[in-house]
Amino acid sequence: MFDNALIAEREMLKDEAKHPNNYMPSNWSKRYGPIELQARFLKFCENVTRKTRSSIAHELNVPYGSSERAKYDIYGTDLPDDAPIFIFIHGGYWMEFSKDLSGFSVPNFVAHGIKVVVAGYDLCPNVRLTDIVQQIKLLVEKIIILAQSLKSKCIWLGGHSAGAHLAESLLHDHKWRASKHSCLELLKGLVPIGGIYDLKPVLSLSVNEAVKLTSEEISLYTFAPIDELKKLENNSECISNLKVILAVGECDSPIFVEESKRYARRLIQFVDNIKFLLLRNHIDHFDIVENLTTNDLLLSKILIHNVKNIK
């Protein structure tokens, strides 16, 4: 009976994955209609980043690679050298948005003694998803070197939407993790927020006109396939020195909520320390990060507590 229920659930999810609207999180908010929601979110991002840059010590456009977008901004440059560092990767289906609109986590984190690095990266169709993943690895390597020179207490890496997927791509590249084992000791946590972890359905979305996913990329970068039994983690490594805090809002797309739950189940196979947060009170795909500006939201409180108190 239980097996039949699982099979029925998978078939239902496969049917839902065929509908592009299920992959547009703005369709599911309880606050505003899709167009108004997106306009308000863009205005919010512009305003909070502008205010952040006018009030918090920072350095903008620090290059970590050779391309124009391979740059990061670092905030809280007047904090002690050994302050913890939180790296944030923006979303936008790997094809839009910018670090220049992503300062929402900065004021609250800096107020609690945490430096924030906001990452930029090249966008599709100018590059492939594989290229972006490589850029994020290079960025993390550069920040680790910086943190080591400053004797920073720790580094945490977070991302929103497609940025959550990019953050988690590091966790699944076991060869890279093995080759960088000694320097990765400073990386203590990953924070994927409202992420997308199954790439196959993206093939049927309009965004794929820009992303142009290949079959190899779908295989490499799908972390939570609908058919969970098809692709279990083939990995003898048990990760015990890193915590994953996986978050999604209850009013995100039901597909995104389900993928987050499915990904949490997969992570349990090889990561020892996992916390899954389904945020209630009508939290959607956008205000889940908007609320990082204050310490009122549960996610903010948990992140700040963990980054500051990591052992």
By annotation, the residues acting in catalysis are: 161, 252, 285
234: enclosing H helix or E strand? none
β-pair partners for 187: 155
Angle between helix 2-16 and helix 254-267 axes, rounded to 10 deg = 130
CA distance 145 to 85: 12
Q: Is 239 helix (H, G, I), strand (E, B) or coil?
A: strand
Distance CA 201, CA 196 (A): 10
Taking a C-beta distance cutoff of 8 angstroms, is the pair 184, 148 a contact? Answer: no
171-174: long-range contacts (C-beta < 8 A, 24 or more apart)? 171/239, 171/242, 171/244, 171/271, 172/221, 172/223, 173/133, 173/137, 174/235, 174/237
Question: Is the C-alpha dihedral spanning 243, 249, 255, 261 positive or negative?
Answer: positive
In the chain the first and final C-alpha atoms are separated, in Å, by: 44
Structure tokens at 54: 């006018």
